[in-house]
Amino acid sequence: MSELDDFLSTTLPRQVAAEEAMHNGDPGPRLAMWSTRDPVTLLGAAVPNKRGWDDVSRTFRWVASRFSDCAAYDFELVAAGVSGDLAYTVGFERSVVAIDGGPVAPNVLRVTHVYRREDGEWKIVHRHGDAPPADQSPPPPDRTG
């Protein structure tokens, strides 16, 4: 098994489960996926940029409090790579979720995560999420990068 395959097979299922929990209002699993060692950064889709574990973790708790009634969550991996103790994933998060008590509705974000290996475990150190342009259709998955 390649280093990339090992990374994806151990880390991605945990991250998908963490994001499902987040979309149901539980930030705990996402918080556990993240490094508490600086630097950590967040360029969120609906929040100002955050830096440092205190700001990032506080933001995740707030974001989770806005989500409820997740009817579906899917992560489409577009690209991923591993080099030494750093790794990344790029993809699309698709969910059907209520935000701020509104109706359950589809939501799509394109997201990039950067991971750092800490004590033998991959931890997220950066997330960038934003809404894709209206005319953008996602490219087919590519696991070579």
**Residue 47: DSSP 8-state:** S
Q: Cα separation of 12 and 65, whole Å?
A: 23
For residue 65, give the nearest of 105, 22, 97, 12 by alpha carbon: 22
| pLDDT band, residue 145 (cuts 50/70/90) | very low
**pLDDT greater than 60 at residue 124:** yes
Residue ranges of domains in the chain: 3-130
pLDDT tens readout for residues 18-64:
999 999 999 999 999 999 999 999 998 888 899 999 999 999 999 99
- Answer whether CATH 3.10.450.50 is correct for domain 3-130: yes
**pLDDT greater than 90 at residue 100:** yes
| pLDDT band, residue 115 (cuts 50/70/90) | very high
66 burial via Cβ count (<10 Å: 0-12, 13-18, 19+): middle
94 burial via Cβ count (<10 Å: 0-12, 13-18, 19+): middle
pLDDT tens readout for residues 62-90:
999 999 999 999 999 999 999 999 999 99
